[in-house]
Amino acid sequence: MANHAGFDFETKSGFILFPLMVHSLDLTVSTIAIFFVATKKGHPSTDSQYGPLEDPLNVLKRGYYVSLILAVLGLFWICRTFLSTPGNPDAYLYFFGCTCVGVVVSFLFVAITQYYTDYNFGPV
């Protein structure tokens, strides 16, 4: 398809490297987000100033939100860098739009699943 479109070598290589860069971004974002999944320091039974216990799901969602933000920023850079075409320099925006739809859908899956399975919401 790239040959039929008349793309040069750099443009073709961008389309080949795109999936590899996305998976590299996955690993990087996941590694960074892990550092945001932690509870408060100390132990509630030994520290009188500990305060209320955190909901474990809120701790996990904090890491999830960090990963969503980093993923959107990284995907924009990857799409702009690797998916620009000489004939249409704004084509990367369409690819980025598709990735944003995927990110929004994954967020909705988490929110809807939480609504129907968490004891804090009415259906449970």
Distances from the Cα of 23 to the Cα of 29, 50, 68, 108, angstroms: 10, 39, 14, 22
Percentage of the chain surpassing pLDDT 90?
A: 49
Question: Is residue 39 a contact partner of residue 59, using CB atoms and an 8 Å limit?
Answer: yes
Answer yes or no: is 99 within a domain. Answer: yes
Domain of residue 32: give its range: 2-117
Question: Is residue 91 a contact partner of residue 84, using CB atoms and an 8 Å limit?
Answer: yes
Answer yes or no: is 83 within a domain. Answer: yes
Answer yes or no: is 123 within a domain. Answer: no
Beta strands in the chain (DSSP E): none
Answer yes or no: is 58 within a domain. Answer: yes
Answer yes or no: is 124 within a domain. Answer: no
Mean of pLDDT over the chain: 88
Instruction: Give the pLDDT confidence of 52-109 residue by residue, as tens digits.
Output: 888 888 889 999 999 999 999 999 999 999 888 777 788 899 999 999 999 999 999 9
Answer yes or no: is 57 within a domain. Answer: yes
d(CA 116, CA 121): 7
Question: Is residue 70 a contact partner of residue 61, using CB atoms and an 8 Å limit?
Answer: no
The predicted pLDDT at position 55 comes to 83
- Using the predicted structure, report yes or no on whether residue 114 has a pLDDT greater than 80: yes
Answer yes or no: is 84 within a domain. Answer: yes
The structural domain count of the chain equals 1
- Using the predicted structure, report yes or no on whether residue 4 has a pLDDT greater than 90: no
Answer yes or no: is 40 within a domain. Answer: yes
